[in-house]
A = this chain, B = another copy of it.
Amino acid sequence: MTGQIEPIARMAQQLSRLPGIGSKSALRLAYHIVSLPQEQVRELAAAIWQGRKDVKLCPVCGNYTVEAPCPICADESRHNGVLCVVREPRDVAAIERMRDFKGGYHVLHGTLSPMEGVGPDDIRIRELVQRVQDEHIREVILATNPDIEGEATAAYIARLLKPMGVLVTRIAHGLPVGGDLEYTDEVTLAKAIEGRREM
């Protein structure tokens, strides 16, 4: 950031800490922000700071929320004995967009990853076990990503919960709707055939 005046260099340095923003884009953004009306920049900075300050984790499900517990956990009609387990808050938003799932959530805030030193105590697995005991849960849907860490985490949780007498299910793997069989990788294809259903 040589050759820049200090306020612009500092702004660019802070922006470059965000994911996907390299030092060149950060500098371009900083120059753009400096050229904006003060009022617009005030709104941007306030939305960033206020947003971070207002958002907390729901003490029950671990999703981002303004109130505690979050609106979903506070909604009695969603206490139907079904919990959907996801890796992060963004996944809750994705499933909610579908407007189809009527149970509760449990956000793990990560997946098991021996490579990165993330063990069972580092994600919200103990809290999940506690909820299954306390909340009369009949079914736990494991909706972690279909990648190595997501599968390993799902397998670990399944082993833990099954002895408790709860139904543990995994979201289906298969061809995405609108996908093309010809261009589907073999693993997905194998999963799709393995998971076939009678019509």
0/1 interface trace, chain A 1-19, chain B, CB 8 Å (1 if under) = 0111111101101110111
Contact of A11 among B25, B48, B66, B94 (CB under 8 A): B48
For A15, what are the chain B residues with a Cβ–Cβ distance below 8 Å? 44, 47-48
A193 interface residue, CB < 8 Å from B?
no
Q: A7-B47, A18-B29, A31-B90 are in contact. List 5 more A-B contacts (CB 8 A).
A: A4-B93, A7-B54, A11-B48, A31-B88, A45-B48
- Looking at the complex, which of A32-40, A128-136, A149-157, A167-175 is the stretch in contact with chain B? A32-40
Instruction: Give A42 Cβ to nearest chain B Cβ, in Å.
Output: 6
Measured CA separation A89–B14 after assembly (Å): 20
Closest chain B CB from A3 CB (angstroms): 4
Contact across chains for B52 and A97 when beta carbons are under 8 A apart: no
- Cα separation A19 to B25 with both chains bound (whole Å): 10
Chain B residues contacting A18 (CB-CB under 8 Å) are 29, 32-33, 44
The 10 closest A-B pairs by CB, nearest first: A45-B49, A11-B51, A7-B51, A41-B52, A14-B47, A3-B97, A3-B93, A45-B45, A7-B54, A45-B48
A70 — nearest CB in chain B belongs to which residue? B5
Q: Are A38 and B53 in contact (CB under 8 A)?
A: yes
Instruction: Check A65 against B5 for contact (C-beta < 8 Å).
Output: yes
A2 closest partner in B (C-beta): B97
- A37-81 Cβ-contact flags toward B at 8 Å (1 or 0): 010111111111111111100000000111000000000000000
Q: How far is the CA of A104 from the CA of B191 in the complex (A)?
A: 68
Counting CB contacts under 8 A, is A30 at the interface?
A: yes
Which B residues lie within 8 Å of A51 (CB)?
7-8, 10-11, 30, 33-34
Whole-angstrom CA separation of A38 from B51 in the bound complex: 10
**Would you call B20 and A33 a contact (CB within 8 A)?**
no
Q: List 12 A-B contacts (CB under 8 A).
A: A2-B97, A4-B93, A10-B47, A14-B43, A18-B29, A19-B32, A27-B90, A28-B90, A30-B51, A31-B88, A38-B52, A45-B52
